[in-house]
Amino acid sequence: MAKIGILTFSDGRDFVHEGAGVGKFARDVEDDIADALEAAGHEVVRAREAVWTNRLAVNEARHVADARPDLTVFNIPVWAFPHFSMLAARETPGPLLLFSNINPEQPGMVGMLAAAGGLDQIGRTYGRAWGDVSQPEVMARMETHIRAAKAVRSLEGSTFGRIGGRPMGMYTAVSNTDQWMEKFGVDVEEIDQWELVRRSGEVEGSKVRAAREWLEGHAAGVHYDRDRLTPEILERQIRSYYVMRELIEEWNLDFSGIKGQPELTTHFATMDITEAFLNDPYDWDGPKEPHVCATEADMDAALTMQILKHLSGTPVLFADVRHYHADRDVWDLCNSGQHATWFAARSDDPAENMRHVHLYPEEFFFPAGGAAVHHLAAEGEFTFARLTRHDGYYRMHVLRGSFVRFDHETNEDLMRQSTYAWPHAFAKMDAKADEILSRYSSNHIHAIPGDHVEELRVVCDLLDVDYDGFGPAGYGGAA
C-alpha cells in the first residue's frame, strides 16, 4: 500500500473560511477522503490545518512533504484561492493529484479548475479526480493515480545492477546512465560477469544439492542428457543464482540484469535458472519478494519491469516477440528461460506452478549448457508494455491482450515450431499485427496480469515519457 499526503484548500477570506463555515466543510470532506484511503489500506499523512493563507500553503506543504508521500492529494472542495495551490506545489516535489467533490452548494469544481490552470501555466505535472469518494468509480480513479505514483516514486533513489555489458550488439539493451539518474532517479552499478564465475565455487555445497533435489522433486521433469544438462551443470546454474542473491545484498541492488551471452552461455552456463527464480515470488528456500532481473542485461526491459511490478504486485513476464501465427492471430512470446515459473499457473502454491515446468537441455545456441525453464503461460487478461527510445527521448509502448492455450496437441505443435525448450506464452493482442510489426520498437516485451493501461498513462505523465498505445490502448480508443 502507499503513503498518501493530503492538503485541503479553502477560501482566503477569514470571514468566509471561518465565519461562513467553509473551512469546516472543507475539513469534513478531508475526513471522508482520509477514511476511505485508510480503509483501502493506505497510510495517510494530513496537514495540521486547512490552507487558507499563503503562509499556511508553504508551511503545511513542507510538513506533508517531509513525510515523503508517494502521492499528495490537493483537496479543493470549495472555492480556494488558486495561488495557495501554486505555492504548495512548489514545496511538494512528488506526484500531485487535484481532487474536488462535486457539490452544487460549494464551488469546489471551480476552485480545482482554477488551480489546474495555474499549474498548467508553470508546467507542473499533476492528475485530477473528482466526485464522492464513497462511490467505487471515484475511488478507483484515485487508486489509479496512487498505484502509478507509487511505481514512479519507487524508482527514485534505486540502484540497477548491470552484470556485464552490451549483449550481442543490442543497442536497445543499453541505456544512458546519466539520463537514468536525471529522469528516473536511478543509479547504475556495473558489475563484471566474472563475479558469477569466481564466486560460484564458494557457495555451500549442501545448499546447492538441496536446491537441485527440490527442482528434481517439484518440476514436471528434469531431462538430463549427459551432455548439455547434467546434475553438475544444473548445480552450476543454482550456484549462479546464489551468487546473484549475494551481489544483490552486498550492492543493495533494487533490480538487475545479466548479460549472459555470449561469454557465460558459451563457456560457463546459461542464466535461465538464475533469471527465472529471481523473478519468481519463491525459490526452493521458500517465499520471497520477486527481484526483477532482465536477461541480456536489457536495461530498458528491467526499468519497464520494475514499474510494472510496482503497479501489479506480481512477477513480470520478459519475452521475445518470437513469432506470429497469422492463421490463429496468436503471438508466440518466447525467450531463453526468462519467464518466471509463476506464469505456468499463476498460483500462490509453488508446487502447482512447478508441476507444469520442465527443465530441458539448452539448445545449440548455448554450448556451455544448462537447463532451459520450459512451460506454457496460463490463460488470462494481460497488459503489455515496453519502454523504448526515439531520437534520445523515452516513450512507452502499451498494449492490451490475453494469454491463451489450445488443446495439448496444438500447444505442443506451436511450441515446437520455434524453440521448444524455452518458455512460451501464446498471446492474442487487441492491436492488429500490422500495427505492431510496423511500429513496435524492440524485440523484447513485458507483461503483467490485468488491465493497467490507465495507470501506465499516468506513469508516463509523471515521468514525462511519451505514451504510445497500440490498438484500443492508444489515445482516442477505449482502454
Rounded Cα gap, residues 386 and 351, in angstroms: 30
pTM recorded for the entire structure: 0.95
Tell me what pLDDT residue 33 has. 97
Tell me what pLDDT residue 169 has. 86
Maximum Cα–Cα distance for the chain, whole Å?
87
Backbone angles phi, psi at 139, to 5 degrees: -65, -35
* Nearest alpha carbon to residue 295 among 332, 331, 334, 323: 334
Residue 63 Cα distances to 12, 56, 116, 378, 410, angstroms: 20, 10, 22, 47, 61
Strand order of the β-sheet with 43-46 is: 43-46, 3-8, 71-75, 96-100, 127-130
| The CATH homologous superfamily of the domain defined by 158-473 | L-fucose/L-arabinose isomerase, C-terminal (3.20.14.10)
Tell me what pLDDT residue 475 has. 67
Q: Where in the chain is the domain with CATH 3.40.50.1070?
A: 3-155
C-alpha cell, 356: 507444469
Q: List all residues 6 or more positions away from 13 whose beta carbon is below 8 Å from its beta carbon.
A: none
* Nearest alpha carbon to residue 238 among 359, 64, 364: 359
* Nearest alpha carbon to residue 394 among 186, 254, 123, 184: 184
Q: Where in the chain is the domain with CATH 3.20.14.10?
A: 158-473
Tens-digit pLDDT profile for residues 427-465 = 999 999 999 999 999 999 999 999 999 999 999 999 999
- 39 alpha carbon, distance to own chain's centre: 24
Tell me what pLDDT residue 19 has. 81
The architecture of the domain spanning 3-155 is 3-Layer(aba) Sandwich (3.40)
Tell me what pLDDT residue 21 has. 87
Tell me what pLDDT residue 477 has. 45
* Nearest alpha carbon to residue 5 among 101, 75, 55, 110: 75
Query: pLDDT tens digits for the chain (479 residues)?
Result: 899 999 999 999 999 998 888 999 999 999 999 999 999 999 999 999 999 999 999 999 999 999 999 999 999 999 999 999 999 999 999 999 999 998 888 999 999 999 999 999 999 999 999 999 999 999 999 999 999 999 999 999 999 999 999 998 888 889 999 999 999 999 999 999 999 999 999 999 999 999 999 999 999 999 999 999 999 999 999 999 999 999 999 999 999 999 999 999 999 999 999 999 999 999 999 999 999 999 999 999 999 999 999 999 999 999 999 999 999 999 999 998 779 999 999 999 999 999 999 999 999 889 999 999 999 999 999 999 999 999 999 999 999 999 999 999 999 999 999 999 999 999 999 999 999 999 999 999 999 999 999 999 999 999 999 999 999 999 654 43
